[in-house]
Amino acid sequence: MTPKDIEHLIQQHPLVDNLIKLQETTWFNPKITPLKEGLPFVGLTTKDVQDASQRLARFAPYLCKAFPETAISKGIIESEIVAIPKMKVALEARYHAKIAGNLLLKKDSHLPISGSIKARGGIYEVLTHAEKLAIKHGLLTEKDDYSQLFSDKFKQFFSQYSIAVGSTGNLGLSIGIMSAKLGFNVSVHMSADAREWKKQKLRSHGVNVVEYEQDYGVAVEQGRKAAQSDPNCFFIDDENSQTLFLGYSVAGERVKKQFEEMNIKVDKDHPLFVYLPCGVGGGPGGVAFGLKLAFGDNVHCFFAEPTHSPCMLLGVYTGLHDKIAVQDIGIDNITAADGLAVGRPSGFVGRAMERLLDGFYTISDQHMYDLLGLLNQQEQIQLEPSALAGMIGPLRIEGDKSYLNQIHASPEVMKNATHLVWATGGGMVPEQEMKKYLSLAK
């Protein structure tokens, strides 16, 4: 984009100027519609989510055996929801504002196998691919006990095939570990910002790690190219995959069940607000889709991004989606928030979900570190920086009375609100790395 193009863009979309100046920005989405009207634009249905859920149930006996840490949940990969009341008090004190309602944390940070939200979508897509191959070759039917996949016979079968993916780290961990366990040859194409410990962990699982000096977009492109030259190689396309999206979406019905067990009501008088850190968009998009199906118009979803990588906000706000990258307007896409360092949003998620999301906001890296320190201090829960992007969400909405009016959330109603902060990663960060993160908190 030329300076003149950028000037023109700012004239039409004034918040672009705030983004360029790296100011923390909140945008409440005027394109939001009731679920009924927005749903057809997603192109996926409740039935697709149920299929995904059933597929994960078929694989549960396999996961139980292959990853014994999943045995306590009978092979279902799911995380806890915990109340963080001390954090709520600390946030109120720090920001001199009240948070009406309850503050909860969804600990995808502590999901088994790969310690991040990617243990949903990434693992699901690998399982889907494995199932397809095994069924196609007459080795498996949907009625079989899938624990038989944990065998030399199947490992040998899958070793004829390869899987490739581009990643900033966490998707690579999920897909790499899962693929290698099944027996696939797997290559993870890693962007420059990927952490050394993630690469080491993958290599220790027998994964081929390919390193790039460029960002996520380049790693994905190179991974795609490498896969094209090999007909037995399956490329997992984080930028466009509906399978990944569906793997994430199963979270909706799971949260609904967890809330029922916790006696947490969600209805017109008990709204649910969910704050989801966003990179390319598949994770938060899929989870938000599942939540909308589970709770309808009573759930309000927000995407949170670093000030240096506001790709989804930029794409949806300008309507340009994947036709614009943050670099086009001079933003560097350099952030400490692993998984969120994405310059160009998914071409699919923004278009699919833009009518179902209440808003988007950005947060600075220093702010994420500060919240990381505060959560550790108040609740003894340790997360990676990206996972804190959601934590400021309740304050952003409390600060905007016109938004609350628009959704009919009176102070009476907000007293019954539930704020669910989606903690997307951090469970596997080595102690030394965590110490570094904590030392950066102010």
Ligand X SMILES: *Cc1c(COP(=O)(O)O)cnc(C)c1O
* Per CB under 6 A, 112 contacts ligand X: no
Tell me if 241 contacts ligand X by CB under 6 A: no
Compute the least distance from the CB of residue 265 to ligand X, in Å: 28
Give the residue, chosen from 38, 75, 217, 284, that forms a contact with ligand X under the rule CB under 6 A: 284
CA distances from 39 to 27, 43, 94 (A): 22, 7, 39
Per-residue CA distances from 404 to 89, 389, 397, 400 (Å): 21, 21, 7, 7
Closest to ligand X by CB, 271 vs 345, is 345
Q: Which of these, 228, 178, 198, lies nearest to 62 by C-alpha position? A: 178
Rule CB under 6 A: choose which of 26, 243, 298, 386 binds ligand X: 386
Minimum Å distance from CB 394 to ligand X? 18
Q: In this chain, which of 26, 53, 243, 424 binds ligand X, going by CB under 6 A?
A: 424
| 281 near ligand X, judged by CB under 6 A | yes
Choices 110-118, 198-206, 223-231, 251-259; region in contact with ligand X by CB under 6 A: 110-118
Minimal distance, residue 166 CB to ligand X, in Å = 11
Q: How many residues bind ligand X (CB under 6 A)?
A: 21
Minimum CB separation of residue 220 from ligand X in Å reads: 11
User: Is the distance from CB of 366 to CB of 396 less than 8 angstroms?
Assistant: no
Among 112, 183, 425, 427, binds ligand X (CB under 6 A): 425
Q: Which of 387, 397, 414, 428 binds ligand X (CB under 6 A)?
A: 387
**Among the residue ranges 259-267, 274-282, 317-325, 427-435, the one whose residues contact ligand X (CB under 6 A):** 274-282
Specify the stretch interacting with ligand X by CB under 6 A; choose among 187-195, 335-343, 364-372, 394-402: 335-343
SS3 readout for the chain: CCHHHHHHHHHHCCHHHHHHCCCCCEEECCCCCCHHHHHHHCCCCHHHHHHHHHHHHHHHHHHHHHCHHHHHHCCCCCCCEEECHHHHHHHHHHHCCCCCCEEEEEEHHHCCCCCECHHHHHHHHHHHHHHHHHHHCCCCCCCCCHHHHCCHHHHHHHCCCEEEEEECCHHHHHHHHHHHHHCCEEEEEECCCCCHHHHHHHHHCCCEEEECCCCHHHHHHHHHHHHHCCCCEEEECCCCCHHHHHHHHCHHHHHHHHHHHCCCCCECCECEEEEEECCCCHHHHHHHHHHHHHHHHHEEEEEEEECCCCHHHHHHHHCCHHHCCHHHHCCCCCCCCCCCCCCCCCCCHHHHHCCCCCEEEEECHHHHHHHHHHHHHHHCCCCCHHHHHHHHHHHHHHCCHHHHHHCCCCHHHHCCCEEEEEECECCCCCHHHHHHHHHCCC
Question: Among residues 38, 75, 282, 359, which is the contact residue for ligand X, using CB under 6 A?
Answer: 282
- Residue 25 interacting with ligand X (CB under 6 A): no
Specify the stretch interacting with ligand X by CB under 6 A; choose among 16-24, 144-152, 337-345, 393-401.
337-345
Site string for ligand X, 161-190 (x = CB under 6 A): ---------xx-------------------
Note whether 292 binds ligand X by CB under 6 A.
no
Report in angstroms how near the CB of residue 284 gets to ligand X at its nearest: 5
185 bridge partner residues: 162
**In angstroms, what is the minimal distance from the CB of 183 to ligand X?**
25
State the minimum distance, in angstroms, from the CB of residue 424 to ligand X: 3
Q: Binder to ligand X among 118, 120, 351, 419 (CB under 6 A)? A: 118
Which of residues 64 and 220 has its CB atom nearest to ligand X in the complex? 220
Among the listed residues 116, 179, 187, 335, the single contact to ligand X using CB under 6 A: 116
Residue 285 C-beta-side C-alpha neighbours within 13 Å: 31
| Choices 99-107, 113-121, 185-193, 196-204 (CB under 6 A): range interacting with ligand X | 113-121
Q: Does 343 bind ligand X (CB under 6 A)?
A: no
Q: Is 357 in the site for ligand X (CB under 6 A)?
A: no
Selected range binding ligand X among 48-56, 111-119, 177-185, 323-331, rule: CB under 6 A: 111-119
Question: How many CB atoms are located within 10 Å of the residue 268 CB?
Answer: 11
Q: Site residues (CB under 6 A) for ligand X? A: 116-118, 170-171, 277-284, 338-340, 384, 386-387, 424-425
